[in-house]
Amino acid sequence: MTCIFTPSACHIDLPALQRNFARLGAPETILPVIKSDAYGHGLLPVARALDRAGARQFAVGTISEGISLRDDGYRQRVVTLMGALCPNEWTQAADARLTPVVTCFDDLKNAADGLSGRGETLEVALKLDTGMGRLGFDEADIPALIESLAHLPRLVPVMALSHMPSADMPEDENFSREQIERFRRLCEPLRQRWPDLARSLANTAGTLGLPRARFELCRPGLALYGGNPFAGGPWEERGAGLEWVMSLSAPVMQVRQLRAGQSLSYGRTFTAPRDMTIAVIACGYATAYPRALSNRASVLLHGRRAPVVGRVCMSMMMADVSHLPAVSRGDTAWLMGGEAAPGERPVTVCELARLADVLPYELLCLMGEVNPRQYII
């Protein structure tokens, strides 16, 4: 795929995605999260690859994403984590046989209204708040929730969901453990009424870090794409073996000399301490390579690290290749991922995220949306 304004590219390794999926547990226990265009990896290619790997169902963000999966021929359960946002979306959810999350009593009413005149049932996922504080029914709401649903027989609850705010923080393990018990307790009366109701609490960190958080269904997102939420901490081993799925490459536009004392790029934040060779690379902040990485990150050229020097520009950036005499115009620079030479460390999403003070999630979502994607199948 080409793009008119950038020669950079995101490379999406679908076999790595499938291996990550397999590492997370038996397929029937996983509700893979492919919201936000599969974290920038592309909704449909990711859904197809996971489907081939045995995924039984999906969680997306919006009704539109769910409809895209249906238009692509996908027939199994699709949960929309953002529910449905307007009356029309509840009707669309029913027509497309999606499973929206219901988060409040208004949602129940809108869901029932959206169904009216359509003579069908609508599967729903009940969102419970057990510590995130963002969306969902509280413990005190549960009796009224059961009562309301008793009057709405066309709404069919198939799962109960809750979300963990700090399962990636080993130092907050007590909170997570209490949350697991709270979730179990909130689900009890619901499961008495609907014995097949599947419970789902764990995101990636819960799935990998806290076995008791798994219940019937785990909802990993980040891990599918290779992210270990415990990287660099005491629980790092719990997420070992995951592989990054996305890499980012861009061509070298020019290789040039910088004399000692000469400054480089906007703001003149870098001055050559000695004569240097600089590669100008065709990628910048317009394609989601953060300007905050100026003078901080490295890129891989010929498998070797080259430090980013000077400010990252809109569609160009520079790296010091003085130690890599073979680099020339037209070579491929790997800004993330790529093949590292023996003894060299690859540039990971986590490393860039840490240096730029953003989340790996943000880099993946943004880079994947603005750079043309090439799929390795």
Ligand X SMILES: *Cc1c(COP(=O)(O)O)cnc(C)c1O
Catalytic residues: 35, 266
**Minimum CB–partner distance for residue 85 and ligand X (Å):** 15
Say if residues 3 and 367 touch (Cβ distance below 8 Å). Answer: no
Place of tokens 């129940």: 108
Among 41, 48, 214, 219, binds ligand X (CB under 6 A): 219
Place of tokens 């199994």: 76
Say if residues 363 and 288 touch (Cβ distance below 8 Å). Answer: yes
Going residue by residue from 298 to 317, which x/- string records binding to ligand X, judged by CB under 6 A?
Answer: --------------------
Query: With binding defined as CB under 6 A, does residue 81 bind ligand X?
Result: yes
Q: Which is nearer to ligand X, 227 or 284 (CB)?
A: 227
CA distance 226 to 83: 27
Q: Which is nearer to ligand X, 93 or 252 (CB)?
A: 93
Q: Which is nearer to ligand X, 225 or 285 (CB)?
A: 225
DSSP string, 306-362: EEB-S---SS-EEEE-TT-TT--TTPEEEEEB-PPPTTPPPB-HHHHHHHHTS-HHH
What letters, b where the CB count within 10 A reaches 16 and e where it falls short, cover 299-309?
Answer: bbbbebbbbbb
Comparing every residue's Cβ against ligand X, the nearest one is: 221
Q: How many residues bind ligand X (CB under 6 A)?
A: 10
Query: With binding defined as CB under 6 A, does residue 221 bind ligand X?
Result: yes
Which listed range, 147-155, 208-216, 220-228, 343-351, lies at the site for ligand X (CB under 6 A)?
A: 220-228
Q: Which is nearer to ligand X, 11 or 163 (CB)?
A: 163
What is the CA 245 to chain-centroid distance, rounded? 11
Q: Which is nearer to ligand X, 41 or 219 (CB)?
A: 219
CA dihedral 180, 181, 183, 188 (to 10 degrees): 140
Among 126, 149, 222, 299, binds ligand X (CB under 6 A): 222
**Minimum CB–partner distance for residue 351 and ligand X (Å):** 19
Which listed range, 151-159, 218-226, 276-284, 328-336, lies at the site for ligand X (CB under 6 A)?
A: 218-226
Strand order through the sheet with 57-60: 57-60, 77-80, 99-102, 122-127, 155-161, 198-200
CA distance 36 to 362: 11
**Minimum CB–partner distance for residue 283 and ligand X (Å):** 25
**Minimum CB–partner distance for residue 39 and ligand X (Å):** 7
Going residue by residue from 168 to 207, which x/- string records binding to ligand X, judged by CB under 6 A?
Answer: -----------------------------------xx---
Q: Exposed, middle or buried by CB within 10 Å (0-12, 13-18, 19+), for 319?
A: buried
Q: Which of 287, 335, 343 is nearest to 308 (CA)?
A: 335
Residues 136-155 that bind ligand X (CB under 6 A): none
Query: With binding defined as CB under 6 A, does residue 14 bind ligand X?
Result: no
Q: How many helices (H) and strands (E) does the chain have?
A: 11, 16
Which listed range, 49-57, 213-221, 234-242, 321-329, lies at the site for ligand X (CB under 6 A)?
A: 213-221
Which tokens in the block code for residue 54?
A: 């045995």
Among 33, 145, 283, 297, binds ligand X (CB under 6 A): 33
Place of tokens 């317009």: 286
Q: Which is nearer to ligand X, 203 or 247 (CB)?
A: 203
Q: Which of 223, 224, 203 is nearest to 215 (CA)?
A: 203
Which residues make up the interface to ligand X (CB under 6 A)?
33, 35, 81, 163, 203-204, 219-222
